[in-house]
Amino acid sequence: MHSDPFELNYSKVKAYLDCPYLYKYIYLDRNYPPHTPFSSLGISVHRALDRYHSGGGGLDELMLCYDENWHHHGFESPQQTLEFYRQGRRILENYRRAEQAGSRAEIIFTEKEFEFEFERWRVRGTIDRVDRLSPAGGCEIIDYKMGFETKTREELEKDLQLSIYALALKKTFNMDVRIISWLLLLKGEKVSIPYDPSREAAILSVLRDTGEKILALDLSRKGKCSSCPIRKLCAVSEAK
Ligand code: SF4
């Protein structure tokens, strides 16, 4: 994995904020955290939805996209693989049912890549989905979450990822972001809030500060080892 020190993306910034050693493990030592059943299911469902929205069709096409994009790493047994595979099918069936029941949104982008520059940083990423808001105007950013954990509006108000995406749409495509949302696929629920542009200076400040610490390779703190995905692999783990 090539890591340009002046390139920032949400995953890299989050890794550093979670723990500088996690950032080092992934982006400097070029390791991948091990896949888990949950991460593989998330990858499979994300890929299936991207392919489905690119190609269109009905439930059969959606399930075909799922089968073709099934990510089979990180499972402990064939039984566990099957359980998660079936759970993914149920999630996508619910997604399709909700899509048919609701008013059809006009999707502007799916898996949209972006890149913008500020100061000496280049910020890149990929947005799950952007819908046009009609008749209100503007657009809504939607990030797919599996929804294994409860998510609240208060958490969304503080979310860094969607704030970066909103900035990117504004800077790169001159789009008017009005709403940011998490679509919790497991429950078929959406958590939405109006987008608050007054946070933009604070978001850029987080990117700048984190970028500077990454450049300086500031390893002066550790994250929470007990819940870290690499706690058994990390050389300085306190929870092996
Ligand atoms: S195990 Fe602890 S020190 Fe190592 S990367 Fe994870 S949080 Fe950081």
Q: Is the pLDDT of residue 26 over 70?
A: yes
> Which atom of ligand 1 is nearest to 233's Cα?
1
pLDDT at 192 over 80: yes
Task: Answer yes or no: is pLDDT of 1 > 60.
Answer: no
Q: In Å, how far are 26, 121, 164, 172, 228 from 1, measured between CA atoms?
A: 8, 19, 22, 25, 21
Residue nearest to atom 5 of ligand 1 (CA): 22
Give the dihedral sign, CA 182/36/95/11: positive
Token pair recorded at residue 231: 């706690």
Q: Which atom of ligand 1 is nearest to the CA of 24?
A: 5
Distance 228 CA to ligand 1 centre (A): 6
CA of 16 to the centre of ligand 1 (A): 11
pLDDT digits (tens, 9 = 90+) for 132-157: 998 888 999 999 999 888 899 999 99
Q: Whats the size of the chain, residue-wise? A: 240
List all residues whose CB is within 6 A of at least one atom of ligand 1.
19, 21-22, 25, 222-225, 228, 230-231, 234, 236-237
* HSE value, Cβ hemisphere, 13 Å, CA-based, for 59: 12
Q: Does the domain at residues 106-211 carry the CATH identifier 3.40.228.10?
A: no
Cis upstream peptide for 33 (omega within 30°): no
Residue 158 has pLDDT above 70, yes or no: yes
- ipTM for this prediction: 0.99
